[in-house]
Amino acid sequence: MTTDTQTLKQEFIEGLSGISAFWGFPKGMGALFAVLYLSPDPLPLDELVEQSGLTKGAVSTNVRALARIGLVHRSTRLGDRKDYYEAETNFYKSVRSILKERQNTEFDRAVASVKETLSKLEAGAGSSDPAEQAFLLERVRALQSFFDALDSLFSAISRLDSLGFGTIQTVLNILK
């Protein structure tokens, strides 16, 4: 006895909901993306309400958030007042826009504050004891360069689609 399409979809939706929650997004966003991703055609809001089990308000909010980060696209049809949504299928593109989105939030502010600490230290601030000063400088520098390395890698990820999978394989082989 094999699983039917409906059940299969439901499991997939729950899976993406969990992944969404894990990355700090509302579960609803994952669910809505899943619904759209499994649909060959763009879907209107009321269809999303039906298939996701969320209310109109929740769908409206979440689908708009998805559009902001580029994971779904909104479209309209002539002589039809409804909005239609469809899933973006180029994930690398989405990652890029998600990272870009997040760059202007608290994360960037926090990372910037570490960088600022470093600048102040390099400018001679905090000099109570030379040994302590040197120690602090070394530690904060090390952290900063780690952040820089991470940053390079993340931006590399967002460029992966234009590079193609051949390049990815090459890179992974080097790293192996």
Binding site for a copy of itself (CB under 8 A): 2-5, 7-8, 11-12, 14-19, 21-22, 24, 37-38, 40, 89, 91-92, 105-107, 109-111, 113-114, 116-117, 120-121, 123-128, 132, 135-136, 139-140, 142-143, 146, 149-150, 152-153, 156-157, 159-160, 163, 165, 167-168, 170-172, 174-175
Q: Shortest distance, CB of residue 117 to a copy of itself, whole angstroms?
A: 5
Q: Shortest distance, CB of residue 134 to DNA, whole angstroms?
A: 29
54 binds DNA (CB under 7 A): yes
Among residues 40, 57, 124, 164, which is the contact residue for DNA, using CB under 7 A? Answer: 57
Q: Shortest distance, CB of residue 40 to a copy of itself, whole angstroms?
A: 5
Among residues 3, 15, 22, 64, which is the contact residue for DNA, using CB under 7 A? Answer: 64
CA 6 – CA 35 distance, rounded (Å) = 11
CA 146 – CA 166 distance, rounded (Å) = 27
71 binds DNA (CB under 7 A): no
Q: Which is nearer to a copy of itself, 80 or 106 (CB)?
A: 106
Distance of CA 66 to the CA centre of its chain: 10
**44 DSSP β-pair partners:** 84
28 binds DNA (CB under 7 A): yes
Among residues 23, 56, 126, 162, which is the contact residue for DNA, using CB under 7 A? Answer: 56
CA 175 – CA 173 distance, rounded (Å) = 5
